[in-house]
Amino acid sequence: MMFRKCFLLVFVLLVFETRRSSSQNTSQINRGSFPKGFVFGTASASYQYEGAVKVDGRGMTIWDTFAHRFGKVADFSNGDVAVDQYHRYLDDIQLMKDMGMDAYRFSIAWSRIFPNGSGNINQAGIDHYNNFINALLANGIEPYVTLYHWDLPQALEDKYKGWLDPQIIKDYAIYAETCFQKFGDRVKHWITFNEPHTFAIQGYDVGLQAPGRCSILLHLFCRAGNSATEPYIVAHNVLLSHAAAVDIYRKRYKSKQNGSLGISFDVIWYEPSTNSTDDIEATQRAQDFQLGWFLDPLVFGDYPSSMRDRVGDRLPTFSNTEAALVKGSYDFVGINHYTTFYAKKNSTRIIGNLLNDSLSDSGAITLPFRGLKPIGDRASSIWLYIVPRGIRSLMNYIKQKYGNPLVIITENGMDDPNDPFKSIKDCLKDEKRIKYHNDYLTNLVAAIKEDGCNVRGYFAWSLLDNWEWAAGFTSRFGLYFVDYNDKLKRYPKDSVQWFKKFLTTT
């Protein structure tokens, strides 16, 4: 208890100290501001980029199914074509090279390797990613490969409900090992999963993403699911799948391939809405139910005590063998960070009892407003408020709570709306995005140099405007503008020129 109170006190002091020091740090930065060897890149995901969903033997995924259901995507679009990187990757690699990027984070589509999720390997899928990886390396760009970025083969969903069944652990391990075998001689940086917290909540609690399961309002919104239990089952199977893949790599491939493995988490930074003890404790619980849910098992071998206390028997348990396998199963921690919210104690259980879902278990309310005042300027997405100090506070939190592990910022960026009435010329003027990256990177380098945080890389989301899940094509995160009305032509926004200058100045 004393440790908990001391940690909470440090937590609050950290927030206010970071606010103070961040506001003072406004100097111009460039690549030379960062430690030698620091990696800069851009990020993407297979279903958001590749298209070619029925090409070269690719199997269907849960996102193919979900996106084609009426009303699930804001503009009624889907990822059938996306931005067609499957066919245009050579041109896109040239864009990265011209910008001076060191690396590219992309994901492999499981259903291109195993169209049915398991069984026979699809050689055409192997060939495509071999060609892609070779082209990156030929242009001096290091591949950072994500094994799972939400596109589960539909066959496994049909066979045993995918992430809800422990069978997924074995099938994922076979898929991961196949990738290690086929690509590991050249790929030295693996990310097992992207944002398990997001797809556990969005896919199995509120039903807003694939596979669209929930029990909210007695299944009026979703066809099936249990919002109070399924997110925890999914997360548990993901953690065991991750640990199994890491164990396989370390035992069979690490000595020859000498690569590293991590996992990427979505992390909103939370600040207490007030200085009250209730709000401070609620803020810590909010972080426990977000980052701690996944990182605590990797570092400490079990879920946060606040989750055990509040979720009870609905939270799965690790056996001693499983806990030993999960604990320490990472070489780096990937952090996808975009924004900061306020957190306060949820003083009423009425909404939580009505919905009966995992989101209400933390007993915290998190919003980007305090009263009517927003925490920062908003981007296009309703959840994305620009609060650069948050990334420094978050890095310090990870340093203090988790022993300063190696961190890579695997996503960071902001979006503009896809305005059909705005000319392409005007769309390329993205001063707001330039300021976003400059200010977040300024805070990141302060966390590294002034605070001693162990951060080694930064990946901007995203190289191109792309298909943004339930938002479809309504949201533009890209450094390059994609003209969806003219053969998906790519145009450099002003932020491309900014990054060119940033990366070539030392």
Q: What is the pLDDT of residue 371?
A: 92
Q: What is the pLDDT of residue 71?
A: 95
Give the integer Cα–Cα distance in Å for 350 and 354: 6
Residues 6 or more apart in contact with residue 408 via CB below 8 angstroms: 39, 262, 332, 333, 334, 335, 455, 456, 457, 458, 459
Give the integer Cα–Cα distance in Å for 385 and 496: 22
Q: In the predicted model, is pLDDT for residue 21 greater than 80?
A: no
Q: Which helix (H) or strand (E) holds 213?
A: none
Give the integer Cα–Cα distance in Å for 168 and 138: 35
User: Which residues are 483's β-sheet partners?
Assistant: 489
Q: Which residue has the higher pLDDT, 157 or 352?
A: 157
Q: In the predicted model, is pLDDT for residue 348 greater than 90?
A: no
Helix axes 123-138, 167-183, angle to 10 degrees: 50
Give the integer Cα–Cα distance in Å for 11 and 17: 10
The torsion angles phi and psi of 191, rounded to 5 degrees, stand at -120, 115
Q: What is the pLDDT of residue 406?
A: 98
Q: What is the pLDDT of residue 351?
A: 52
CA–CA distances in Å: residue 348 to residues 79, 205, 272, 344, 360: 40, 20, 18, 12, 10
Give the integer Cα–Cα distance in Å for 89 and 112: 16
- Look at 9-23, 49-63, 395-409, 452-466 and tell me which has the smallest mean pLDDT: 9-23
For 436, the token pair is: 């976003």
Give the integer Cα–Cα distance in Å for 316 and 430: 46
Q: Which residue has the higher pLDDT, 88 or 353?
A: 88
The torsion angles phi and psi of 163, rounded to 5 degrees, stand at -70, -5
Residues 6 or more apart in contact with residue 313 via CB below 8 angstroms: none
Q: What is the mean pLDDT of residues 176-197?
A: 98
Amino acid (one-letter) located at 70: F
Tokens 């994500």 belong to which residue?
146
Check residue 464 and report its DSSP letter.
B
Catalytic residue among 157, 195, 230, 468: 195
The mean pLDDT of the chain is 94
User: Which residues are 460's β-sheet partners?
Assistant: 42
Q: What is the mean pLDDT of residues 244-257?
A: 98
Amino acid (one-letter) located at 255: S
Q: In the predicted model, is pLDDT for residue 411 greater than 70?
A: yes
CB atoms within 10 A of CB 438: 18
Q: What is the pLDDT of residue 177?
A: 99
Q: In the predicted model, is pLDDT for residue 199 greater than 50?
A: yes
Q: What is the pLDDT of residue 37?
A: 97
CA nearest to 299, candidates 192, 406, 207: 406
Q: In the predicted model, is pLDDT for residue 11 greater than 60?
A: no
Amino acid (one-letter) located at 288: D
Q: What is the mean pLDDT of residues 10-21?
A: 49
For 498, the token pair is: 């900014």
pLDDT digits (tens, 9 = 90+) for 202-242: 999 999 999 999 998 766 789 899 999 999 999 999 999 99
The model's confidence at residue 253, banded by pLDDT at 50, 70 and 90, is: very high
Q: Which helix (H) or strand (E) holds 433?
A: helix 431-449
**Cis (ω within 30 of 0) for the bond into 211?**
yes
The model's confidence at residue 350, banded by pLDDT at 50, 70 and 90, is: low
Locate the DSSP E strands across 118-163. Answer: 142-146
Q: Is 271 a catalytic residue?
A: no
Positive or negative torsion for Cα 488, 489, 494, 496: positive
pTM: 0.95
CB atoms within 10 A of CB 302: 15
Q: In the predicted model, is pLDDT for residue 496 greater than 50?
A: yes
Give the integer Cα–Cα distance in Å for 435 and 457: 19
For 108, the token pair is: 């492999």
Q: Is 230 a catalytic residue?
A: no
Residues 6 or more apart in contact with residue 286 via CB below 8 angstroms: 270, 343, 362, 364, 366
SS3 428: coil
pLDDT digits (tens, 9 = 90+) for 137-167: 999 999 999 999 999 999 999 999 999 999 9
Q: In the predicted model, is pLDDT for residue 175 greater than 90?
A: yes
Give the integer Cα–Cα distance in Å for 41 and 102: 6
Q: In the predicted model, is pLDDT for residue 10 greater than 80?
A: no
User: Which residues are 480's β-sheet partners?
Assistant: 464, 492
Q: Tell how far CA 241 is from the center of its chain.
A: 17
Q: Quick one: residue 344, left, alpha or beta (phi over 0 = left, psi -120 to 50 = alpha)?
A: beta
Give the integer Cα–Cα distance in Å for 127 and 129: 6
Contact 122, 57 (CB under 8 A): yes
Give the integer Cα–Cα distance in Å for 364 and 214: 21
> For 12-28, b where at least 16 C-beta lie within 10 A, e where not — what string?
bebbeebeeebeebeee
pLDDT digits (tens, 9 = 90+) for 23-73: 434 458 999 999 999 999 999 999 999 999 999 999 999 999 999 999 999
**For the chain, percent of residues with pLDDT exceeding 90:** 90
Give the integer Cα–Cα distance in Å for 163 and 89: 31
The model's confidence at residue 454, banded by pLDDT at 50, 70 and 90, is: very high
Burial class (CB in 10 A: 0-12, 13-18, 19+), 32: exposed
Domains and CATH numbers, the chain: 31-504 (3.20.20.80)
Note the helical H segments in 185-303.
196-204, 230-252, 254-257, 277-287, 293-300
